[in-house]
A and B are shown apart, each in its own frame.
Chain A
């Protein structure tokens, strides 16, 4: 019995159509074609509203062309002496927008049809085309002789949730830019679409603000090396855009603002009076705070102070025309927030998170789920299964309430994580969450998920990503990126 998993991991038994995350609809038909990774071409269909010059797709074509050579080994059920050759994949996008940024309403659906006559990927937007290219890259496989193949397949696919995020924390430990960029690559392989950048916090302030350079000069671990320059931030945003990923940066306040302290005066001199407050808020004995509390008639209710602070902050942010996502306490503490605010549910010990999701949606707010997906909390064994088995809509509420759950985020907080262990700790565990947020509600078979995810992690290794094993076994190409 111990051998069961091993046997399943043998290359021959991974189904040829295995894709991670599982597409909504896959139909494999008999028939396949050979594919020459050197001569294969990606191109725009004549019907496409976007064409050469569309950076998002031009770049993606090149990326996925390179990845063709990393196709995974499969053992076909039968062998045939000769197969027709598939020469190209044509992409047809319906709407002509190419230079924008992905947003909450971006349409990521696509249809993919591969056959010896014509392989066509069609989508509403370039973002859907990106998802389809990823799926296409996972359909290509190799036999034992190293030949590349593509089965005749039809796929209709779209995400279950619009917001599929991953949180990285660059304050508790600084993460070099290349670690962030690599994470964005792997996010795209997993069809994640939001990078939640918890960029500053108590321990350090690595963000180099143009308006307030003192913040990082005094708040970074090392202001010369442990910072993100404006160019770095631009690069991350563009790199993410090219992969259909939004970047949401979080400046968590007021509790987590110790690192803002040494440079706060510049902020105050330009911004407003409440920033000073926030830097002092942690010290309840502070006489200025006391006086302010009196003046405002808050008494000793510090929740009111926090509400006041958040209210002001939100007003300021809205005045810049940005939407906002706040952690659940803002809602819990009764801060008046705009109806379009998104509440991020993260707490586990304040009662079951399902109840919080129910409360938030009942109040008419949109909800984002992270509580069961704190990947920094490691434990022995296959904990990806726990993350995988979460059903985000399993809470008491009406259909309207369920529709207010816009997705979720995998969180990798940084207390114990830096560039030495980030990647293996994140992947393939975050993949479990990616599939939960993308695939159909009915995709819950753990055995099937295990086989596909173990295979997908080997794909990640071939693509140079240091993804850790699920359990005993091996990959044809082990990690060698020392």
Chain B
């Protein structure tokens, strides 16, 4: 009796069932702070209500919804290029988007069977005209860190107009427009007259997926890109390789995946990678690959002889290997060729170079490394050796004309990095202090620390992610400007294709709104009302987004 209420009042269990099988097994593979036990947030049953902003997610910067309703007839309504637009039918990106959003708006209904009765004059919306203003619509480009995503949307009878300088803004505006349309009780498609001006708060709004700890089939990645577009995310941070497996198929070094992947079937071929990049581009999403070194590289060693440092047990080799071997010229030849390939395969101007969690134990055990340290005058400061390695890698990558992102340790250990390096802050404890330090040193930064979504817990943890204010750290205005955005990270220790989507969505949506909407959009109750509807919309669009709390959607998930 009374299960529900009493259950909800119990304190959370504080145990962590981790590591009991092999104590060491997880230790070196956690790219993460240790999970912090927290007391369960006590759940009041939230009152589900109507938000004045309907189901819009993330909330636009400025929004005026009028009471006047217009109807859309699926058989007549069109998405078209408006007069004066610099993009036309030759812009495949927009053509694809028009078709996609037509389907999102009408596709899941059985409207085809309905009559085509004319609607009373003055109550029908016939078109959405999309007008790209800039001379260069950027239709055939890849999105970049400085892409203009702003748009203006004006819904009035008889046509709605969506204005954007570039196609990227048009994509965001189409998503917003599709979220304004709803079905009334009679099955009619209805939109309120509205005026919207919108642009993102942060330029870098990312999702990190880890395809090394578990392989993610292509379909999983593409589905996730769809969901990202629904939430106005614009960066896929593809943590493509790590200790556990090397699924990236390199043309230059085919043995890396040939020997380092889980199996022949657990590989991303060049065609697969191409497909992900193109699919993302059409949704205004950048793909930033991460090739993390010198740590997190066990799987690299299987297909590349002498790349990793042999560890020693006293006088003899122990048979195991440590981080990349920083003292050999062959290492840098290899890295030069590999990054040359990577920089041409991935069009984005940035590559993520990792650089986190380097374990010095193996380097310390190796007599050749010790000798090298002596020669270089590093003493016993292995951070200097790490620094030496990272420097060389940064030079290699710079020579391919790419910028780079690194995890915060690279900054913390005092590696000399170029002023244009982007530092990603991930360590959970005192990340605000870290943001202060990184920006005071003048570096651009991305925040991931409070948004490790792989750390699951019981209850509505989306509120925790939602309540983060990225600029809430000690620093001057100039420092705050250096925070270019954030990333929701879903590391793969416990995630594969079976649970990826419900674990990520709609929890990542909370981060999506934080990074897009105004700083003052912080009302949890209003957010709950909109997010519940947004998650039902994602279900209808084929995303298996999990529930926020008790309740239902008109159209439950059908994918099972």
Contact = CB atoms under 8 A, between A and B. Distances in A.
Contacts of A2: 24-29, 243, 298
B502 A382 contact: no
Given A2-B25, A253-B1, A478-B497, A379 B7 contact: no
Interface string A419-454: 111011100000000000000000000110010000
Contacts of B459: 416
Contacts of A178: 560
Contacts of B442: none
Given A380-B16, A386-B15, A479-B496, A256 B2 contact: yes
Nearest to B555: A225
Q: Is the interface of A mostly helix, strand, loop or mixed?
A: loop
**Chain B at the A interface: mostly helix, strand, loop or mixed?**
loop
A311 interface: no
A461 B551 CA distance: 29
Contacts of A256: 1-4
Contact of B22 (A1, A172, A414): A1
B498 to A, nearest CB: 5
B64 interface: no
Interface residues on A, range: 35 or more
A69 interface: no
Given A2-B243, A386-B17, A201 B4 contact: yes
A241 B223 CA distance: 38
Interface in B18-34: 18-22, 24-29
Contacts, number: 225
A415 to B, nearest CB: 6
B485 interface: no
Interface in B205-241: 213-215, 217, 219-220, 223
B10 A349 contact: yes
Interface in B440-495: 454-460, 492-495
A88 interface: no
A469 B214 contact: yes
A469 B1 CA distance: 34
B374 interface: no
Contact of B457 (A172, A174, A202, A380): A380
A99 interface: no
B533 interface: no
Contact of A420 (B16, B215, B547): B547
Contacts of B217: 478-480
Pick the most buried of B10, B15, B458, B560: most chain A CB atoms within 10 A of its CB: B560
A382 B458 contact: no
Given A421-B546, A447-B21, A176 B495 contact: no
Contacts of B220: 482
Contacts of A327: 1, 3
Contacts of B456: 378-380
24 contacts: A2-B24, A172-B4, A173-B547, A374-B7, A377-B458, A378-B456, A378-B457, A379-B35, A379-B458, A380-B18, A381-B35, A382-B19, A413-B3, A415-B43, A420-B501, A471-B494, A472-B29, A472-B213, A472-B493, A473-B262, A474-B496, A478-B215, A478-B496, A478-B497
Interface of B: 1-13, 15-22, 24-29, 35, 43, 213-215, 217, 219-220, 223, 243-245, 262-263, 265-266, 298, 454-460, 492-499, 501-503, 539, 544-552, 554, 556-557, 559-560
Given A382-B17, A416-B459, 4 more contacts: A421-B544, A424-B498, A478-B496, A479-B498
